[in-house]
Amino acid sequence: MVVALPRFYFHIVADTTFLDEEGTSFADGKAALLHAKRLAAELAQGLKLQDGTIVVEDEDSGELFEVPLSGLSS
């Protein structure tokens, strides 16, 4: 039996909003949160985004949590 992994969407809300219309499958919300934190750190460092958040949704419940971009760059 094949079990489908839940799909999570990572919307970037900063000066401009970028909606993740494709999403990515993860085993659970904990794995999605880890991905969101890594993505936020990459955006803060690489693109120098300081203000904004990553809003994470799943396909069933809608918004699950937000990860801020501020304070993540080194």
User: Which tokens in the block code for residue 55?
Assistant: 């809003």
Note whether residue 1 is domain-resident. Answer: no
Q: What percent of the chain has pLDDT over 90?
A: 57
* pTM for this entry: 0.84
Residue-wise pLDDT for 4-39, tens only, equals 899 999 999 988 899 999 999 999 999 999 999 999
Of the candidates 70, 20, 18, the residue with the CA atom closest to the CA atom of residue 49: 70
Report DSSP letters for 13-62, one per residue: ESSSEE--SS-EE-SSHHHHHHHHHHHHHHHHHHS---S-EEEEEETTTE
Length of the chain: 74
Instruction: Flag whether 62 is in a domain.
Output: yes
- How confident is the model over 41-70, as pLDDT tens digits? 888 887 766 788 999 999 888 889 999 987
- Domains identified in the chain, total number: 1
Query: Is residue 29 in a domain?
Result: yes
* Within a domain: 73: no
Domain, as residue range, for 34: 7-68
Q: In this prediction, what percent of the chain has a pLDDT beyond 70?
A: 89
